[in-house]
Amino acid sequence: MSYRILMVEDDGKIAGAISEHLERYGYDMVRVVDFARVEETFLAAQPHLVLMDVNLPYQDGFHLTRTLRRHSSVPVLFLSARSGDMEQVLGIECGGDDYITKPVNLDVLQAKVKAALRRAYGDYATATPRSVVRAGDLELDLTAAELHWQGEAQPLSRNELKLLHLFMEKAGRVVSRAACLEALWDDKAFVDDNTLTVNVNRVRARLDALGLKGALETRRGLGYMLVPERLVDGP
């Protein structure tokens, strides 16, 4: 399972070292390059976890985290040279899940990332009744935010989960782009056609990773359709 991590760090050397280290453990790293558009990058990437520096151009990490919390509850781990107790308290109060002081020990960081992901999505996630949607032999676990096929699983971001839920409930029928936009966000000011296309492409990538290439078709001028005939395991 590949988790996507957004790296919000303006020091290129630090960001590069952390990204390279975590990629060795199979994480999909996305680095912010335009710090005036962190929120837009977050919405496009739909990460499972955020590594957030505190001292950033334009807005500090505390303010940015409050902004991101309007969209998502994904784990946020702060990275900061500020080691005072009040800074750490502020980090937790504004929505952070952990606070790591610089210089960062990469092995400790990797362990904290793994633990945060397990709490949010894995072994230690809060137990709730399992809710499952099926289309053919494809199974969408709404509780664990996972897509299952032939014993394999793919973890899903919030938007991937919403789109797949919509496509699977309407398998065999065309789903309009307007319906997709409505499913993603209540406030459509946060999404445009390009952002929707990015999210649909991420859904396709999840299906491709399970061997279901071509299962989600684009119907030009109409929308998208999940093809039921391609969701049957076996001859």
Asked whether residue 58 falls in the same domain as residue 159, the answer is no
Can you give the pTM of this predicted structure? 0.59
Q: What's the CA angle centered on 199, arms 188 and 181, to 5 degrees? A: 25
Its domain, for residue 80, covers: 4-121
Based on the structure, what is the number of domains in the chain?
2
- 92 and 47 within one domain: yes
Per residue in 129-145, pLDDT tens? 457 888 888 999 887 78
The reply to whether 127 falls in a domain is no
**9 shares its domain with 112:** yes
Estimate to the nearest angstrom the gap between the alpha carbon of 67 and the chain centroid.
Answer: 16
pLDDT tens, residue order, the chain (235 aa)? 578 999 999 999 999 999 999 999 999 999 999 999 999 999 888 889 999 999 999 899 999 998 888 777 889 999 988 777 787 788 888 888 899 989 999 999 999 999 998 888 765 554 444 578 888 889 998 877 889 998 888 888 888 899 999 999 899 999 999 899 888 865 444 567 787 888 899 999 999 999 999 999 999 989 999 998 888 865 4
CATH of the domain at 224: 1.10.10.10
126 belongs to a structural domain? no
- At 100, list the tokens: 């790591």
Residue 213 CB contacts under 8 Å (≥ 6 apart), including other chains? 207
Regarding whether 8 and 112 lie in a shared domain, the answer is yes
Q: Tell me the CB-side half-sphere exposure of residue 36, using CA atoms within 13 A.
A: 0
CATH number at residue 70: 3.40.50.2300
Residue 202 domain flag: yes
* Token output for 34: 């335009």
Residue (of 47, 57, 92) closest to 199 by Cα position: 47
Contacts (Cβ under 8 Å, ≥6 apart) of 26? 2
* Cβ atoms of 132 and 228 closer than 8 Å: no
Same domain, 113 and 222: no
